[in-house]
Structure 1
């Protein structure tokens, strides 16, 4: 499945209007790269209507057939919750480190069980490292990752990394859609 060109253009306008800033001098991203282009995916979907629009597009992009949706907290949380609400599935968040008490869990929200099918999401992906680390934690639980998506993929290497990991990568937008330099 792939969203149509009209939807893609509408999403690009939304992200540029609500989540994009040009910065001079360049700044260092969490991934270590440098850029003049700051994209705040969380701010882009901070209103209910915009979040619904993006979640509907993400569901169209990844299709159905999954039990839960989630990804690394904080970037994935809003999109995962909205997709779960619209699809009637569960949601989960993957912590940066396990909780220090209780279940000592890496994954919170829906209690994922072996054999369940999940979609992983993120707001903005620069290298894919955080999302792939999360996928590793999910595989330890015995769940199957059926697809991965993000509001924005900033680098051509992300698709390569996901392909190498045997994962379906379906970002809603790429750097090309926003007219920014890739990382």
Structure 2
């Protein structure tokens, strides 16, 4: 059964309140969202359909009720205890654009699960188990704009710098600190 949520949006100085209707998530996505909420923070995306932006609020509310959408997520911060195998759940939340992994248990193997995130723009990785091998996964992230690996002390600065040469879209870099 669809659920509803009130969302307030300010656009060009005009504040509008929408009642969003969200379709039920498939079980695997629901489990992934619940899991990541227990080990970190999930941040919702403002995914108001474009077609309602110009509608009067009453008309938009009616439209949204008749056209439930899937709730989307913008960012994920992982600070709790997680293992590489836990990251397989990312395949069910592929719309994430910002991911912060502040957890020493994530290794090069776990990085491969981040490749499910084909819209990722900002990635922060602080894990002592990451090595130069994790950069192979990062090289495949063509939507990445910001990369921060300051807290990944076992990734060499030279390998990091070489890897980011293959990512010309990067706008902000924070290299690993030297040991």
TM (normalized to structure 2)? Answer: 0.29
Instruction: Answer with 1 or 2: which has the greater Rg.
Output: 2
Give the alignment's TM-score, normalised by structure 1. 0.29
